[in-house]
Amino acid sequence: MSEENTPTEEPTVEAEATEPQGEVKAETDWKAEARKWESRAKAAKADGEDATKWREYEAAQKPIQERLAEELAQAKADAENASARLLRYEVASERGIAGDATQLLKGSTREELEAEAELLLSLIANQSNPKTPIPDVNAGKPANVAVGQITDRAALKDMSPAQIMEARSAGRLDALMGK
């Protein structure tokens, strides 16, 4: 039985023996951990300095990038405007529209510009062919006088008495007589 006790005592001794070694080992671990964290802090500081330099570089490059982007956008807009003007002048030239009338063409596609040109040409044609005015039957007299009414005494001088009687019976002298 004593042999059975001995092995149980030996592990206890070993456990006691490992505890002091664990303390020494733990002390060594703390030093190693401290060195490890110190080296990490130094690396992080170096990385932080590098990151700061990179942010400064990006900040310096940003205005250049923005300026170049604005210049690119302006160049694209200028090219688009020039292309639209060229298309407008081509359509105007094909249709025979000249001078300031080309500025009246609006549209972004060739089809739209051609439709505008046709409309403009039809308007120009209508203005070029003035309509003959309708003669004023009343010759400046008020419009409430019926057509064919004799409103001037001078017209009676050119008429014979038979014609005057006929006009009176037809009611053509009513306006002159005040009826």
Would you say residue 137 lies in a domain?
Answer: no
Query: Structure pTM?
Result: 0.39
The DSSP symbol for 160 reads: -
pLDDT of residue 30: 81
Would you say residue 1 lies in a domain?
Answer: no
User: Are residues 90 and 25 part of one domain?
Assistant: yes
User: Are residues 109 and 36 part of one domain?
Assistant: yes
- Which pLDDT tens digit goes with each residue over 69-123? 989 999 999 999 999 999 999 999 898 888 888 888 888 889 999 999 998 888 8
Question: What domain range includes position 83?
Answer: 10-128
User: Are residues 162 and 109 part of one domain?
Assistant: no
- Which pLDDT tens digit goes with each residue over 14-58? 444 445 554 545 445 888 888 888 898 888 888 888 888 888 888
Would you say residue 4 lies in a domain?
Answer: no
How many angstroms separate the CA atoms of 173 and 63, rounded? 92
pLDDT of residue 83: 93
- Residue 167 contacts by C-beta under 8 Å, 6 or more apart in sequence? 150, 159, 173
- Paired tokens of 105: 């063409």
User: Are residues 106 and 66 part of one domain?
Assistant: yes
User: Are residues 74 and 47 part of one domain?
Assistant: yes
Would you say residue 134 lies in a domain?
Answer: no
pLDDT of residue 35: 85
- Which pLDDT tens digit goes with each residue over 118-157? 988 888 887 777 677 777 665 666 656 566 777 778 888 8
Q: What is the 3-state secondary structure (H, E, C) of 24-64?
A: HHHHHHHHHHHHHHHHHHHHHHHHHHHHHHHHHHHHHHHHH
Domain count, the chain: 2
Q: Region 158-167: what's the mean pLDDT? A: 87
